[in-house]
Amino acid sequence: MNRGSEWHKWNFHVHTKGTNKNDQFQSSLMDEFFQTFFRKAIENEISAIGITDYFSIEKYLETVKYRDGIESKVTEEGEPIFSEEEQKLIKQIFLFPNVELRMIPSTDKGKLINIHCLFNPEYVDQLEHDFFSNIENQDGFQMNRHGITNYGISLDDSIQETHKQYEKGLDNFVVDITALKKILSKNKKFKDNTLLVVSNSNKDGASAIQKHYELFEQENGSLDGLRKSIYFISNAIFSTREKDINYFIGKRLEGTEGYNSSIYLQEVSKVIKERGSLKPCITGCDAHKEEDLFNRFTWVKSNLDFEGLKQICLEPEHRVRIQTDKPDFKEAKYLIDSVKFTCSDNTFSTEPILLNPNLNVIIGGKSSGKSILLYSLAKTLLADSNVLQNEDGTFKYDLDKIANDFDFEINTRGGFKQNLQRDEEENSILPEIKYIPQNYLVKLAEPQLNKKGRSLNKIVRDLITEDDQSKEEYNEFIGKVKQIDKLRNNEIENYFDVLKEIESIELELKTKSNKSVLEQNIASNSKKVEELNKSAGLDSEEIDKYKELQSREESIETDKESWKSDYLSVKNFNTELIQSTKSLKQKKDSLIQNIKTPILKEHYENTYSIIDQLLEKVLDADKEFETETRDDGKSYFLLQSELAKVLYTLNANLREVKTSIEPFLKNEKIKTAIEDLNKSIATDRKSLNDIETLTKKLTSKKDLIKKSQDDLFKIYSGTYKEYIEIIKSLKNRTLDLEKDGLKIEGKVKFNFPKLRKSLLSVSDGRTASYNNYNLLSESNKATSDFEFDQILVTLKQLFKDITEGNYALSKNANRISVLKDLLNDYFFDYWSIHYKNDTLGEMSTGKASFVILMLIIGLSKSKAPILIDQPEDNLDNRSITSDLVSYLRNKKLERQIIVVTHNANIVVNADAENIIVANQKGQNDDSSSSDFKFDYANGALENTFEKIDSETDVLKSMGIRQHVADIVEGGKDAFMKREKKYRFS
């Protein structure tokens, strides 16, 4: 049971009590030391330890012996020194020997090169023969205990004690690189079981700070032959310095101006040529006293064995980290920890399948259960039904019919569990899961390439607005545009309302008499009245008084006409205001009710209380229009409002004037004639007043309609500006993709064909008046570039021509509706996609599929897992190797990925942390003793052992590496390519 390659703390360089040089440990006994040693290892969560000594593995063997007998370690009272849990943890620690050698001086500065030999523990029994007895120093003494002791005697034969003779030999023993190179070239088994790590130390070999890159800089980048040879045979570097770490993985210039992938590849080639290979930098505590034990460590992503350790040489950048925190952190709630099938008929293995936080690949032969596993994951987590179902709406797999009592269980690292068989209303524990089934990417790519089907632009927009902030911004933008649409349509209706009023006023003006005729009639009749008054015996003073009273009467009558007009206007407005305010109050009440923050709720309740106050006022105002009819048959206002007061005052003044005029009309015959003339004068004066009022109103309405048209196009321009702003706002969401060579460029586009279709549907087909407008040209496509100012000019002309009847419309066309369609929102946000100087619409289906995959993953802000079924479909092998593999390598650091694949490059060169091998019993002529029809095994790439002929369970018969080589097409070649990668040849 494992989940593949995982990050563990490794300490590559730890000395123990009794080490051959610089022993500062204070423990009195080895048992006492080992208690401290292992307890500190547990406390610091160290999983692998390189037990280090100079020219010897004796201390390593002693440490292993203590570890293997850990259960027998008891106190004087017979109590276990370590608890059962501690014993378990200690036995899980991977111990391996680290033999430290000193090479002869490589520069005239007298500095030594220390080289460490890390050995496979399984090879230890052969080291005496293959290594210690096979290497001699410059004086011909062997590098084993006997040879080093004899070398000490040769240096000073006065030393009698054997251990001091050995110490003397150790202090001076230096080996030549030639002997080490010889073993590596002649003994393949030695080479396969050894990793060489070079350190740049001072003379005593105890330096904690390594400065490899400074050596290169000081020597102008050139090394003498010996130093260069040592780097060529080394697999790794002891160093914690950032300069060294970057240099040895080919990223020395990363972060400098103009840095790009081409420069990176040049640097990689340079390092390989000059140092033999890219190399990981590692570290250890190099402890020589108890207080220094495990105070430094290296994170390594691999199995806890020597094969796992070798992975750091194959993946020097990605498998090693020197840092405090665990690398590749992902929140536990977003990680699938394990999955499990359940059924009652042995169709599926019911053992849990553990998943890695990074890249999990599912491999297997045809119909081996790969896609069923991935599909079950997706369906259990309620992935989008559009991708779970076939085109006819059925599910891809009828899981209930595959096995009896079928169920599927998912457990997250955060402790949540979900089953496929559950309450339908239960929400997903990972609602943002991304499931990309087989051929899904191709289906998305082909409509874009074939210019039909579902719009990829919508897919891209949906991905860009997937995160909460962008979604909120886009929804706010949609809300603004919709409000502008309403405002624009209201303004068009208002425009036509004013236009109708103008037409009505002009029509009414035509019914009025000529202004000059009216003025002449008034003057003539007034003169006749004056003559009649004279004939009635009125003197000049009385006539002047009469004329004054007559003028007052005319003025009051005019004021009464104005009051009637004002009364109707105010009453109608107040009725509309009541309706609008009630509607506004409902919206306000709904808003306040939905505000969740108490302080904000109180604030906006106070702020918008003015709406309630307004409604109260307009309802009170409405009461001012209420009347009742009394016994005299006349109507009276119920309230003494301003309306009533003004009318009552006017009526009272009129009665007073009429009473005052009465004495001047003594002769009944003259009185009747004067009254008739006065009526004629009053009628003419009213007509004259009406003409003046209508003329002023007409001028006002014409000014208003010009303003309405200006406002209308300002509103229209506001729509375009909103599109500009939202594209600017969302641009930041696409910038991260540029590091992967993917660029998304947002533009505002105008749907010319849609406008053309809309206008032609209401145009008079017998004419071709629309041909005069470039805006309606068939050459304009929806993706054509445009200048907004030019569109605006044409739209204004079309608006004018349609309004004035110069654009031929069909008989049934409604001008208001046509103009609303004309000024409709034909804009849309368009996102053009470019990858490595190639435009999406010009790519092959395979490459377009990969770009869409990049979009789906790259634009997604979700941290939930990604499930992909055979993403390599339709991609050529070069694209898989250069694009898809690289992309998966990067993205697995951000999100858990689970992939079904038949491609070895995805498995091997994407450095999948966890390989799940699926097998169907009896498929492909394979027989298996497994109890299950569908069975699964999983582990790391470094899990390796050749096929065991006696093992009849197919999945247990060989290592994961061998399964990959056996099942996946090109598997063996992929492993060979990986092992040659970044190495000089």
Do 542 and 688 belong to one domain? yes
Contact 300, 312 (CB under 8 A): yes
Do 429 and 551 belong to one domain? no
Do 545 and 672 belong to one domain? yes
Interior CA angle at 222 toward 220 and 226, to 5°?
140
Tokens 């991609």 found at: 875
CA-based R_g, the chain, Å: 47
Q: Distance between CA 106 and CA 224 in Å, rounded?
A: 7
Contact 54, 63 (CB under 8 A): no
Which spans in 143-207 are helix H?
Answer: 145-155, 162-172, 177-186, 188-192
Query: CB 258: neighbour CB atoms within 10 A?
Result: 6
Q: Distance between CA 228 and CA 145 in Å, rounded?
A: 29
Q: Residue 80's domain is classified under what CATH number?
A: 3.20.20
Longest Cα–Cα distance in the chain: 171
Listed in sequence order, the residues at least 6 apart from 224 whose beta carbon sits closer than 8 Å to its beta carbon are: 106, 107
Residue 780 lies in a domain: no
Residue 682 lies in a domain: yes
Do 128 and 228 belong to one domain? yes
Q: Distance between CA 841 and CA 389 in Å, rounded?
A: 27
Do 666 and 561 belong to one domain? yes
Listed in sequence order, the residues at least 6 apart from 531 whose beta carbon sits closer than 8 Å to its beta carbon are: none
Residue 442 lies in a domain: no
Task: Please give the helix or strand (H or E) that residue 859 lies within, else none.
Answer: helix 845-859
Kindly write down the DSSP assignment for every residue of 895-951, as one continuous string.
Answer: S-EEEE--BHIIIIITT-SEEEEEEETTGGG-----SSSEEEEEE-TT------TT-
The domain in which residue 948 lies consists of 332-433+864-980
| pTM for the model | 0.76
Do 547 and 675 belong to one domain? yes
Residue 644 lies in a domain: yes
Q: Residue 427's domain is classified under what CATH number?
A: 3.40.50.300
Query: CB 268: neighbour CB atoms within 10 A?
Result: 16
Residue 791 lies in a domain: no
Q: Please tell me the predicted confidence (pLDDT) of residue 547.
A: 76
Of the residues 641, 676, 696, the one at which a domain ends: 696
Q: Of 715, 235, 641, 694, give the one whose Cα is nearest residue 480.
A: 715
Instruction: Report CA torsion sign: 635, 641, 643, 648.
Output: positive
Backbone angles phi, psi at 509, to 5 degrees: -60, -35
720, amino acid identity = Y
Q: 311: burial class by Cβ within 10 Å (0-12, 13-18, 19+)?
A: buried
Kindly write down the DSSP assignment for every residue of 600-664, as one continuous string.
Answer: HHHHHHHHTHHHHHHHHHHHHHHHTT-EEE-TTS-EEESS--HHHHHHHHHHHHHHHHHHHHGGG
Do 545 and 690 belong to one domain? yes
Query: CB 460: neighbour CB atoms within 10 A?
Result: 24
Residue 572 lies in a domain: yes
Kindly write down the DSSP assignment for every residue of 599-618, as one continuous string.
Answer: HHHHHHHHHTHHHHHHHHHH
User: Where would I find the beta strands (DSSP E) of 663-779?
Assistant: 742-750
Q: Of 578, 604, 577, 574, give the one whose Cα is nearest residue 591.
A: 604
Of the residues 696, 716, 733, the one at which a domain ends: 696
Do 17 and 54 belong to one domain? yes
Q: 410: burial class by Cβ within 10 Å (0-12, 13-18, 19+)?
A: buried
Do 879 and 972 belong to one domain? yes
Residue 857 lies in a domain: no
Residue ranges of the chain with per-residue pLDDT less than 50: 107-108, 202-209, 449-450, 452-454, 982, 984-985
User: Where would I find the beta strands (DSSP E) of 687-786?
Assistant: 742-750
Do 558 and 415 belong to one domain? no
Q: Distance between CA 910 and CA 363 in Å, rounded?
A: 14
SS3 assignment, position 153: helix
**Token pair recorded at residue 699:** 């001028």
Tokens 């103008």 found at: 502
The predicted-structure confidence for 623-652, as pLDDT tens digits, reads as follows 998 888 888 888 888 888 898 899 999 989
Do 317 and 363 belong to one domain? no
State the total domains in the chain: 3
Contact 33, 79 (CB under 8 A): no
Do 182 and 317 belong to one domain? yes
Listed in sequence order, the residues at least 6 apart from 499 whose beta carbon sits closer than 8 Å to its beta carbon are: 705, 803
Residue 904 lies in a domain: yes
Contact 936, 369 (CB under 8 A): yes
Q: Quick one: how far is CA 753 from the chain centroid?
A: 33
Of the residues 664, 696, 728, the one at which a domain ends: 696
Contact 778, 760 (CB under 8 A): no
